[in-house]
Amino acid sequence: MAGPIPFVRDMEFAYGEAQQVSPLIRRLVANNPSPFTFRGTGVYIIGRGEVAVIDPGPNDARHIEDILRAVDGERVTHIFVTHGHSDHSPAAHPLA
C-alpha cells in the first residue's frame, strides 16, 4: 500500500505578477490566501496574442487590474470557470 500523498507546499511567486509556467501558460496568484485557497487562487492565462483566462478569481479591483496588466496588448477570447467557488468565478463578469 502506498504512503500518504506528498503535497508540494513550496511555491515561489509574487502577488500581481504573471509567472511563466510553460511556453503557453502563465499563472497569476490572487492575493486571497486562506486555508481554502492555500497561498491564493491560481489564475491561468493560456496562449499568446489571443488568450483564454481560466478561473479568473475573486472580484477584487486590484486583482482584476493585475490580470488586465498581464494580458496587456493581447485579446482575451475566452474566460473559463472550472467551478463556481467564490475564489474562482466572481471576476469572470467584470473581466468580460
Name 54's bridge partners.
44, 80
Q: Where do runs of H (alpha helix) occur along the chain?
A: 61-70, 92-95
Set 60, 66, 72, 87: catalytic member: 87
Catalytic status, residue 66:
no
Helix (H) or strand (E) holding 77: strand 75-80
Cβ partners under 8 Å of residue 57, min gap 6: 30, 32, 41, 43, 63, 67, 87, 88, 90, 91
Q: Just list the catalytic residues.
A: 87
